[in-house]
C-alpha cells in the first residue's frame, strides 16, 4: 500500500531533499500522520470508549478480559487470533497477544472505518506536502 | 497587633491522629487527581468535589494544630500568613509526591530513553528554517516515543510482532506525566494572602486553598490537554502501524484482517496474489514458479537468493525498489539483466548489469556506484543527481526535459519602498520579481554582504532622501517610503553572490549582464555515448545549520547556564542539545562544546535575553525555576510568531482575515507586524518577538474561525 521511504519522497517531489534530512522528515510525516489519524478517529469517541482502548495499551488484564467477555468471548477459536498467536515472538505473553488482538478488534467495533481514515489523512498530508514542497526544500 | 482568632480542632486531640487523617485524605486526593488527569473532563465530579473538600478540611485541621504555637506567637498578620502559606505549599508538594507512582516514572523514563535516538535524527531537520519554526517542529516531535517507533519499525519487527500497542503504551505513559504549570511559591502565596484581612485562621487557610485550587485547575486543564493529545497519538500510532505496516515492522498484512508473516522460508507454489499490503522484507529462499502479481504497491527490500522463474511479473501499482539485489538467475521481464521500470524508481539501486529506464519522471538519485551499461531509452524529467562515481557507458537515447526556461530578466528597474520595509525586505521582493526562489535567511546573508561591499548608503538611490537610510544593528533600514533604484553594480553583485551560493532565477543560468540564458528545450541526445570516470561532487547539505553557525551572536549566557539549559532541554525532550546532534552526526558543524545547547537554540535564548524577555542575572551561574518558566513561555510565543509566518506563506485567506486585526501593531523596533499590498495582507517577519496584543489577536481570531481540528491541521503545515 504505502511506505515512508525515499521513493515516497520522490513521489511527492521531495527527492532533492538533502539525504541527512530525509529520514528526519519522514519521521515527522509519520508522527504527524499518527496524530491526525488519532485525532480524527477519536472524534466522537467517549471517555469510556477511549478508556477501553487504554486498557489494551496498559495491558490491564482484568479490563481486557472483561472486554473480550462482552464483545468476543470465543476469540480463541478465531482464525486470525490463532494466526496472531502462532506468529507472535516467544517473549510475548498471553496478555500481550490478547491485548494486541483486542486493540485491533476494538478498532473494528468502534471505528470500522479506520482504514479509510488513514487513507484520507494520508492523502491530505501528501497534498499539503506537495503544495508546499518548494518551501520545504527552500 | 490584632490577630485573627485561632480555633483549635474541636474533635481531635492528638496531632498523630490528625496527621493520619491528612495522609489518608491526601492519598484519596492523589487517586482522584490521577483519574481526573487521565480523563478529558474539565468539571470535577461530585466524588472529586467531596474528596477535595475533605482533603482541605484535613489540611486545615492538621495545620492549625501543628502550627498552633507559632500562629499564636506570630508578631504580624504577614508572619501568620507566611506560616500558613509555607505549610500549604509543603503539603502541595507532598500531594505531588503521592501522585508520582513508581510505575509511571519507570515507563516515562523508558520511553524517554527509547525516544532519544529518534530525536537525534530529527534534530537535523529541526535545525532547518528559522528559529521559531524550529520550535514548532520541536513541538511536533516532542512525543518522542511515537517518533521513535515510527522511525524504527523494521527493527522492532525483527524483535517481535507485539508492536503498535506497546508503542502506544510507552507514548501515552510517557506523555501522561504532569505538565509543568505555574505553582505559587510560599512567598507568592503569602503576598496573595496579605492583600486580604481575615477574621479567623480558618479563613486564611480557606483563601490560601482557593488560590492553590485555582492553580490546580489550570494544571489539570493543561495536563488533560496534553494527555488527550497523547491518547490520540497513541491511537494513531496503533492504527497507522496496523494499516500501513511500518510500525508493526511490515511483518503484518492486514489485507484481510489476518496477521500473516511475509517471510517465506519455503517453496511457494500456486498463485501468490497480494491484493493488499506487500511491504517489508520479502525473502524467498525457495523457488517461485508461478505468476506473482502484486496489485498493490511493492515496497521494501526484495532479496532473492534462489532462482526466480517469473512467468509473468506484472505490477500495476507503484514499484518502489529500495534495495534490489539479485544474486541468482532471473529469467523473465524483470531482473538485473534487463530491468524495466515504468513507474517510480527510488532508493538505492545497485545493478551490476544493464538497467533500462522508461520514462523516469521524478528524481533519480544514485548514491552508490553504477558500473556497467546504464541505458535510458525513455524520457528523463526532473532532477538526476549522482553523488557516486559513474564508470562505464551512459547512453541516453531519449529526450531530456526539465531544463527549459524562458528568458527572464532580473529586475533592474525602479521599485517602491513600502512603509516599514528594510533592505532585507526589498531584497526579498527583488529576488521574487527576478524569478529567484531563495530562502529569506539567505537573502539576509546577501544583504549583509551588500552592506559590507557598498556601505549602508551605497545600495539604493532614494533620490534626495539619503538621510532616511539608516543602520539598525547590521541591517539597513529606510525611513521614507518612496521610489528607489539600485545603485550601479548592486544588481550585478546580487546576481553574482546568489550564483556563487547556488541560486539562479527559475533554475536557469544567468549571463554576465544579469539576464537569464535561454536554454534549448527537448535536447535530443540521440545515440551519444559518454564515457567518464569523473567523480561527481557531493551535494552540500546542512545549510540550515551552517547558516545558524554563521550568525554572529554575542553570547550572553555563561557556559554553566548554557550547559544547564542544554541538559534541561534535552531532558524535557527538546532536540536542541548539542549532544543530540553530536551523538548522531559527529561534529560536522563545529558545535562549540559538548553538553551545551545547540547554536540554533542558543540564538533563541540570546534573543530573549537581549530583548529583556528573559532576565539572566550575571551573578547567577544557573537558571532559576522562574527563568526556566519564562524560557518555556517565550518558546511558545516564538512558535506563535512562526505559526503566523506559516499562515502567511500557506493560507492567504486566513492571513487576510487575521491581517486586519494586526494592523497598527508593531514590533519592538517600530516596524509593523503586517503590511497590506495589492489587496492582501502579508506578514513582516522580524527578529523581535510578536507583541502580546498581536498574539492575543491571533488566538482570538483562530478561536473564532476554526474548529480545533482545522486549527491543528492549519498550524501544523509541513514546516
Cell numbers standing for residue B645:
509566518
Which DSSP string do the residues of B535-577 spell out, in sequence order? BPPPPP--HHHHHHHHS-----S-HHHHHHHHHHHHHHT-TTB
Instruction: Assess B644–A contact: CB distance below 8 Å, yes or no.
Output: no
Chain B residues whose CB is inside 8 A of the A25 CB are 125
Residue B640: CB atoms within 10 A of its CB come to 20
Residue of B nearest to A96 (CA): B162
Instruction: Assess B712–A contact: CB distance below 8 Å, yes or no.
Output: yes
CB contact under 8 A, A42 and B261: no
Cell numbers standing for residue B400:
531530456
The Cα of A47 is separated from the nearest Cα of chain B by a number of Å equal to: 7
Residues B450/B423, Cβ–Cβ less than 8 Å: yes
Residues A4/A126, Cβ–Cβ less than 8 Å: no
The Cα of A111 is separated from the nearest Cα of chain B by a number of Å equal to: 10
Q: What does the pLDDT read at residue B93?
A: 82
Cell numbers standing for residue B464:
534626495
- Give the Cα separation of B283 and B134 in Å (integer): 40
Residues A30/B153, Cβ–Cβ less than 8 Å: no
- What integer is the mean pLDDT of B484-508? 77
**Residue range B389-438, pLDDT digits in tens:** 333 333 333 333 333 333 335 656 666 655 445 667 677 778 877 778 88
- Give the Cα separation of A14 and A9 in Å (integer): 5
Split at pLDDT 50, 70, 90, the class of B87 is: very high
Residue at grid coordinates 522508461: B358
- Give the Cα separation of A24 and B121 in Å (integer): 6
Residues B167/B144, Cβ–Cβ less than 8 Å: no
Tell me the Cα Rg of chain B.
Answer: 33
- Residues 313-332 (B) with a CB less than 8 A from some CB of A: 318, 320-322
Residues A87/B254, Cβ–Cβ less than 8 Å: no
CB contact under 8 A, A35 and B439: no
CB contact under 8 A, B649 and A135: yes
Task: Compute, in degrees rounded to 10, the torsion defined by CA atoms B709, B713, B714, B719.
Answer: 150
CB contact under 8 A, A2 and B344: no
The percentage of residues in chain A with a pLDDT greater than 70, rounded to a whole number, is 96
**Inter-axis angle of helices B201-244 and B46-66, to 10 degrees?**
140
ipTM of predicted complex: 0.88
Residue of A nearest to B125 (CA): A21
What is the bridge-based pairing of β-strands B330-331 and B355-357? unpaired
pLDDT at B296 over 60: no
Split at pLDDT 50, 70, 90, the class of B44 is: confident
| Beta-carbon contacts of residue A134 (< 8 Å; ≥ 6 apart) | B437
pLDDT at B635 over 60: no
CB contact under 8 A, B232 and A42: yes
Task: Return the closest-CA partner of residue B312 out of B332, B329, B286.
Answer: B332
The Cα of B151 is separated from the nearest Cα of chain A by a number of Å equal to: 6
**Sign of the alpha-carbon dihedral angle for B655, B661, B663, B665:** negative
Mean per-residue pLDDT over chain B, rounded? 53
- Closest Cβ opposite residue B231 in set A15, A32, A42: A42
- Give the Cα separation of B218 and B227 in Å (integer): 14
- Give the Cα separation of B384 and B387 in Å (integer): 10
- What integer is the mean pLDDT of B24-30? 87
Picking from A2, A29, A34, A129 by the largest number of B CB atoms within 10 A of its own CB, the best residue to mutate is: A34
More confident residue, B216 or B578: B216
**Residue range B427-466, pLDDT digits in tens:** 777 887 777 888 777 887 788 788 778 877 677 776 544 4
pLDDT at B594 over 90: no
- What integer is the mean pLDDT of B319-347? 32
Q: What is the 3-state secondary structure (H, E, C) of B6-27?
A: CCCCCCCCCHHHHHHHHHHHHH
Instruction: Assess B224–A contact: CB distance below 8 Å, yes or no.
Output: no
Residues B667/B687, Cβ–Cβ less than 8 Å: no
- What integer is the mean pLDDT of A74-89? 83
Residue at grid coordinates 544593528: B473
CB contact under 8 A, A38 and B128: no
- What integer is the mean pLDDT of B20-27? 88
E strands in B207-322: 282-284, 302-304, 308-309
Cβ density class B392-418: b for 16+ within 10 Å, e for less = eebbbebbbebeebeebebbbeebebb
- Give the Cα separation of A75 and A106 in Å (integer): 12
CB contact under 8 A, A20 and B539: no
Q: Which residues pair with B484 in a beta bridge?
A: B415
Chain B residues whose CB is inside 8 A of the A117 CB are 239
Instruction: Assess B233–A contact: CB distance below 8 Å, yes or no.
Output: yes
Residues A26/A15, Cβ–Cβ less than 8 Å: no
Chain A residues whose CB is inside 8 A of the B363 CB are 10, 15-16
- Closest Cβ opposite residue A91 in set B150, B160, B279: B160
**Residue range B525-553, pLDDT digits in tens:** 222 222 222 222 222 222 222 222 222 23
The Cα of A120 is separated from the nearest Cα of chain B by a number of Å equal to: 12
Residues A25/B376, Cβ–Cβ less than 8 Å: no
CB contact under 8 A, B260 and A13: no
Max intra-chain CA distance, chain B: 106
- Give the Cα separation of B619 and B198 in Å (integer): 40
Task: Return the closest-CA partner of residue A89 out of B157, B127, B52.
Answer: B157
Chain B residues whose CB is inside 8 A of the A107 CB are 238-239, 242
CB contact under 8 A, A118 and B239: yes
Q: What does the pLDDT read at residue B668?
A: 66
Highest-confidence range of B62-66, B164-168, B648-652, by mean pLDDT? B62-66
- Closest Cβ opposite residue A27 in set B147, B261, B347: B147
Residues in chain B: 719
Amino acid at each position: 500500500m504505502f511506505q515512508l521511504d525515499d521513493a515516497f519522497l520522490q513521489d511527492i517531489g521531495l527527492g532533492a531533499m538533502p539525504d541527512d534530512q530525509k529520514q528526519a522528515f519522514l519521521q515527522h510525516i509519520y508522527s504527524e500522520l499518527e496524530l491526525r489519524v488519532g485525532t480524527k478517529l477519536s472524534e466522537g469517541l467517549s471517555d469510556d470508549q477511549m478508556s477501553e482502548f487504554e486498557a489494551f495499551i496498559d495491558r490491564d488484564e482484568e479490563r481486557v478480559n472483561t472486554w473480550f467477555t462482552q464483545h468476543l468471548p470465543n476469540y480463541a477459536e478465531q482464525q486470525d487470533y490463532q494466526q496472531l498467536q502462532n506468529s507472535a515472538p516467544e517473549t510475548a505473553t498471553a496478555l500481550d497477544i490478547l491485548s494486541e488482538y483486542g486493540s485491533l478488534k476494538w478498532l473494528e467495533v468502534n471505528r470500522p472505518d479506520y482504514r479509510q481514515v488513514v487513507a484520507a489523512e494520508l492523502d491530505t498530508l501528501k497534498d499539503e506536502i506537495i503544495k508546499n514542497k518548494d518551501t520545504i526544500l527552500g | 497587633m490584632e490577630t485573627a482568632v485561632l480555633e483549635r480542632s474541636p474533635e481531635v486531640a492528638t496531632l498523630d491522629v490528625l496527621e493520619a487523617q491528612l495522609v489518608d485524605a491526601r492519598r484519596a486526593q492523589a487517586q482522584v487527581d490521577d483519574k481526573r488527569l487521565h480523563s478529558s473532563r474539565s468539571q470535577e465530579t461530585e466524588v472529586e468535589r467531596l474528596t477535595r473538600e475533605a482533603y482541605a478540611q484535613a489540611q486545615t485541621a492538621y495545620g492549625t494544630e501543628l502550627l498552633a504555637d507559632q500562629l499564636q506567637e506570630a508578631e504580624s498578620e504577614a508572619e501568620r500568613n507566611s506560616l500558613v502559606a509555607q505549610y500549604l505549599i509543603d503539603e502541595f508538594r507532598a500531594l505531588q509526591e503521592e501522585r508520582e507512582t513508581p510505575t509511571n516514572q519507570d515507563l516515562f523514563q523508558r520511553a524517554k530513553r527509547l525516544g532519544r535516538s529518534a530525536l537525534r535524527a530529527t534534530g537535523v531537520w529541526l535545525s532547518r528554517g528559522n528559529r521559531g519554526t524550529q520550535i514548532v517542529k520541536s513541538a511536533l516531535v516532542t512525543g518522542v516515543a511515537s517518533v521513535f517507533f515510527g522511525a524504527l519499525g523494521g527493527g522492532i519487527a525483527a524483535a517481535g510482532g507485539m508492536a503498535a500497542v506497546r508503542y502506544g503504551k510507552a507514548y501515552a505513559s510517557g506523555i501522561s506525566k504532569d505538565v509543568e504549570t505555574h505553582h505559587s511559591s510560599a512567598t507568592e502565596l503569602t503576598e496573595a494572602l496579605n492583600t486580604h484581612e481575615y477574621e479567623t485562621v480558618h479563613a486564611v487557610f480557606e483563601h490560601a486553598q482557593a488560590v492553590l485550587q485555582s492553580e490546580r485547575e489550570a494544571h489539570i486543564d493543561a495536563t488533560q490537554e496534553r494527555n488527550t493529545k497523547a491518547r490520540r497519538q497513541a491511537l494513531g500510532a496503533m492504527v497507522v502501524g496496523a494499516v500501513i505496516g511500518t510500525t508493526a515492522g511490515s511483518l503484518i498484512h492486514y489485507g484481510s484482517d489476518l496477521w500473516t508473516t511475509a517471510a517465506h522460508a519455503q517453496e511457494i507454489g500456486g498463485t501468490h496474489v497480494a491484493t493488499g499490503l506487500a511491504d517489508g522484507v520479502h525473502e524467498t529462499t525457495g523457488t517461485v514458479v508461478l505468476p506473482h502479481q502484486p496489485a498493490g504497491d511493492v515496497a521494501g527490500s526484495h532479496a532473492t537468493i534462489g532462482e526466480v522463474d517469473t512467468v509473468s511479473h506484472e505490477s500495476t501499482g507503484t514499484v518502489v525498489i529500495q534495495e534490489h539485489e539479485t544474486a541468482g538467475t532471473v529469467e523473465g521481464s524483470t531482473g538485473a539483466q534487463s530491468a524495466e521500470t515504468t513507474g517510480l524508481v527510488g532508493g538505492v539501486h545497485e545493478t551490476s548489469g544493464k538497467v533500462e529506464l522508461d520514462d523516469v519522471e521524478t528524481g533519480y538519485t544514485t548514491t552508490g556506484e553504477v558500473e556497467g551499461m546504464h541505458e535510458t531509452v525513455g524520457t528523463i524529467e526532473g532532477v538526476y543527481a549522482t553523488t557516486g562515481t559513474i564508470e562505464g557507458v551512459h547512453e541516453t537515447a531519449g529526450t531530456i526535459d526539465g531544463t527549459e526556461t524562458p528568458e527572464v530578466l532580473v529586475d533592474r528597474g525602479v521599485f517602491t519602498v513600502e512603509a516599514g520595509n528594510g533592505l532585507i525586505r526589498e531584497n526579498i521582493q527583488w529576488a521574487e520579481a527576478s524569478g529567484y526562489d531563495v530562502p529569506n535567511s539567505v537573502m539576509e546573508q546577501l544583504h549583509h554582504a551588500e552592506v559590507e561591499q557598498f556601505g549602508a548608503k551605497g545600495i539604493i538611490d532614494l533620490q534626495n532622501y539619503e538621510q532616511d537610510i539608516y543602520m539598525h544593528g547590521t541591517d539597513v533600514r529606510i525611513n521614507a517610503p518612496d521610489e528607489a533604484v539600485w545603485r550601479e553594480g548592486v544588481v550585478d553583485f546580487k546576481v553574482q553572490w546568489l550564483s556563487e551560493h547556488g541560486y539562479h532565477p527559475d533554475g536557469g543560468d544567468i549571463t554576465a549582464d544579469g539576464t537569464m540564458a535561454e536554454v534549448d528545450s527537448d535536447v535530443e541526445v540521440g545515440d551519444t555515448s559518454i564515457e567518464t570516470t569523473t567523480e561527481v561532487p557531493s551535494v552540500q547539505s546542512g545549510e540550515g545549520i551552517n547558516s545558524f553557525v554563521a550568525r554572529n551572536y554575542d553570547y550572553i549566557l555563561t557556559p554553566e547556564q548554557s550547559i544547564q539549559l542544554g541538559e534541561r532541554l534535552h531532558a524535557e525532550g527538546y532536540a536542541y542539545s548539542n549532544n543530540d546532534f553530536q551523538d548522531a552526526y559527529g561534529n560536522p558543524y563545529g558545535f562549540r562544546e559538548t553538553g551545551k545547547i545547540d547554536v540554533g537554540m542558543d540564538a533563541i535564548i540570546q534573543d530573549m535575553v537581549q530583548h529583556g524577555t528573559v532576565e539572566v542575572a550575571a551573578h547567577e551561574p544557573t537558571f532559576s525555576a522562574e527563568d526556566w518558566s519564562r524560557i518555556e513561555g517565550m518558546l511558545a510565543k516564538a512558535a506563535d510568531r512562526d505559526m503566523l509566518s506559516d499562515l502567511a506563506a500557506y493560507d492567504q485567506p486566513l492571513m487576510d482575515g487575521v491581517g486586519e486585526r494586526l494592523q497598527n501593531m508593531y514590533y519592538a523596533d517600530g516596524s509593523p507586524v503586517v503590511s497590506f499590498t495589492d489587496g492582501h495582507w502579508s506578514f513582516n517577519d522580524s527578529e523581535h518577538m510578536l507583541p502580546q496584543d498581536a498574539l492575543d489577536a491571533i488566538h482570538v481570531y483562530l478561536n473564532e474561525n476554526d474548529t480545533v481540528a482545522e486549527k491543528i491541521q492549519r498550524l501544523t503545515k509541513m514546516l
